[in-house]
Amino acid sequence: MSDSEIRLNQLRDAIDRSRDDLVALTQALIQIPTLNPPGDCYLEICELLHKRLKPRGFNTELIRAVGALGDSDKHPRWNIIARHDGKHAGQCVHFNSHTDVVDAGDGWSVDPFAGVVKDDRVYGRGACDMKGGLAASIIAAEAFIETFPDYSGSIEISGTCDEESGGFGGVAYLAEKGWFNPERVQHVIIPEPLNKDRICLGHRGVLWTEVETFGHIAHGSMPFLGDCAVRHMGAVVNAFEENLFPALAKKQTTMPVVPDGARQSTLNINSIHGGLAEPEEGYTGLPSALVPDRCRMVLDRRFLMEENLEDVRSELHDVLESVGESRDNFRYETRELFSVLPTMTEKNAPVVQAVSAAIKSEMGCEPDYVVSPGTYDQKHIDRIGRLKNCIAYGPGILDLAHQPDEYVGIQDMLDSAKVMAQSLITLLSVE
Ligand SMILES: [Zn+2]
């Protein structure tokens, strides 16, 4: 056996030995209910990570995203970045995990915040999305440092907040402050739950737009004296059905988006509100007779690498203008709420190559390359940080995210930790 094979086996053994520690760490992370919204317990989870990593030679910094969207004294947006420097200068590999979780909801057969262990799985809200991935990356980094104490370069582990609500108080804030500057970080792995044999290269683009139509208020018994904003909006929806949805279905992408249904442009009508507001709960009276003078619709358009944001904007504008040509008094306004460009890391990027080789070595199979239908924090690392060498790779099954009885498999965590640790060997030159 060659020297490098011996060291690789030592690395695997170190990870296997840490099994109980890995489970306990995952449980401890789940037991802190970092619910978002509103953004609970962010400081607590950063302190847990600080207590874990500081004694193991990491320098830790707790960073509050003061003034970021969502930050308040009641719900401060805390993040942690922990850095371990090797014996010699070199590149930096950064593992970024979000610490927030979504509401537990109903339908659980176990306590969502107890961290119950059953059938070789850890259950709980955030188990797969993504506290299991965070724990696996910590075990991977620690085992690597123990096995290769003379390594060159640096390893960073961050726990960041608010990914579930756009990441503005988390990765976006840190990227704006230079933490993901390519001069200090060269490789980023985000351990989101995408299955241990898949590499997620990026995501589709997003454009959220609010469309408002206007009419004229009048008595409901004489609608001809008014102008119904809801009927104008109905005409818009009709134009979507007749022209836009069929056109979007034809826009197919070469991006390997999963599931297959998302391998095209999509549009979701998120909400429509027109006329009187819903009565308060318990109100027993009847509504009043009014012609609605405003109607609002929120659109969630997901677009492809093959499209550009300007075209996506003008496509909506064209539909609205064409509706206006066929209706009297059609007036509308649009307001853009949010946009993200699609991103896809090249398959020959160093971090993709390293993780791909590690999957082959650990799992004995070629990795699947996928693209996410929705966005995650890679968008900020790419757009604000200008760092292209970034992927999502981590244990857990994506379909379980945000579901009742969410869990992460213990063996999956161990296997993915081995992949992450072996990637470190490739990315950080080892003496
Ligand atoms: Zn996630």
Residue 38 C-alpha to ligand 1 middle, in angstroms?
16
List, for residues 304-328, the tens digit of each pLDDT value: 999 999 999 999 999 999 999 999 9
Q: Angle at which helices 3-17 and 132-147 pack, to 10 degrees?
A: 140
Residue 372 C-alpha to ligand 1 middle, in angstroms?
11
431: pLDDT confidence band, cut at 50, 70 and 90? low
Cα separation of 115 and 72, whole Å? Answer: 29
Which pLDDT does position 132 carry in this prediction?
98
- Percent of the chain topping pLDDT 70: 100
Residue 47 C-alpha to ligand 1 middle, in angstroms?
20
Q: Which fold has domain 3-203+342-427?
A: Aminopeptidase (3.40.630)
Average pLDDT over residues 209-221: 97
Cα separation of 428 and 431, whole Å? Answer: 9
Helix (H) or strand (E) run with residue 14 in it: helix 3-17
Residue 249 C-alpha to ligand 1 middle, in angstroms?
27
Residue 129 C-alpha to ligand 1 middle, in angstroms?
5
Residue 238 C-alpha to ligand 1 middle, in angstroms?
35
Domain locations in the chain as residue ranges: 3-203+342-427, 205-274+289-340
Torsion of CA 128, 133, 139, 140, to 10 degrees: 140
Assigned token pair, 97: 């995990």
Residue 373 C-alpha to ligand 1 middle, in angstroms?
13
Q: 338: buried, middle or exposed (CB in 10 Å: 19+, 13-18, 0-12)?
A: exposed
Residue 194 C-alpha to ligand 1 middle, in angstroms?
10
List, for residues 260-305, the tens digit of each pLDDT value: 999 999 999 999 999 998 889 999 999 999 999 999 999 999 999 9
Residue 392 C-alpha to ligand 1 middle, in angstroms?
10
Provide the mean pLDDT of the chain. Answer: 96
Nearest to 134 by CA among 29, 216, 12, 251: 29
Residue 9 C-alpha to ligand 1 middle, in angstroms?
31
Alpha helices (runs of H) in 199-308, residue ranges in sequence order? 229-239, 245-250
Average pLDDT over residues 26-53: 98
End-to-end CA distance of the chain: 18
Residue 375 C-alpha to ligand 1 middle, in angstroms?
10
Residues 6+ apart with CB under 8 A from 339: 205, 206, 207, 208, 309
Please state which of the four CATH numbers 3.40.50.10420, 3.30.70.360, 3.60.15.10, 3.30.428.10 is assigned to the domain occupying 205-274+289-340: 3.30.70.360
Residue 105 C-alpha to ligand 1 middle, in angstroms?
17
Residue 99 C-alpha to ligand 1 middle, in angstroms?
9
Residue 90 has pLDDT above 70, yes or no: yes
Cα separation of 27 and 31, whole Å? Answer: 6
Residue 82 C-alpha to ligand 1 middle, in angstroms?
20
Which pLDDT does position 284 carry in this prediction?
93
Cα separation of 382 and 156, whole Å? Answer: 18
Residue 300 C-alpha to ligand 1 middle, in angstroms?
19
Helix (H) or strand (E) run with residue 299 in it: strand 294-303
Residue 190 C-alpha to ligand 1 middle, in angstroms?
9
Residue 197 C-alpha to ligand 1 middle, in angstroms?
17
Residue 162 C-alpha to ligand 1 middle, in angstroms?
10
Residue 85 C-alpha to ligand 1 middle, in angstroms?
27
Cα separation of 59 and 195, whole Å? Answer: 30
Q: Are 48 and 29 in contact (CB under 8 A)?
A: yes
Residue 97 C-alpha to ligand 1 middle, in angstroms?
8
Which pLDDT does position 398 carry in this prediction?
86
Residue 429 has pLDDT above 80, yes or no: no
Residue 339 C-alpha to ligand 1 middle, in angstroms?
19
Residues with CB under 5 A from ligand 1 (ion): 129-130, 192
Average pLDDT over residues 407-413: 98
Residues 6+ apart with CB under 8 A from 270: 208, 297, 298, 299, 300
Cα separation of 245 and 243, whole Å? Answer: 6
Residue 88 C-alpha to ligand 1 middle, in angstroms?
33
Residue 379 C-alpha to ligand 1 middle, in angstroms?
13
Helix (H) or strand (E) run with residue 158 in it: strand 152-160
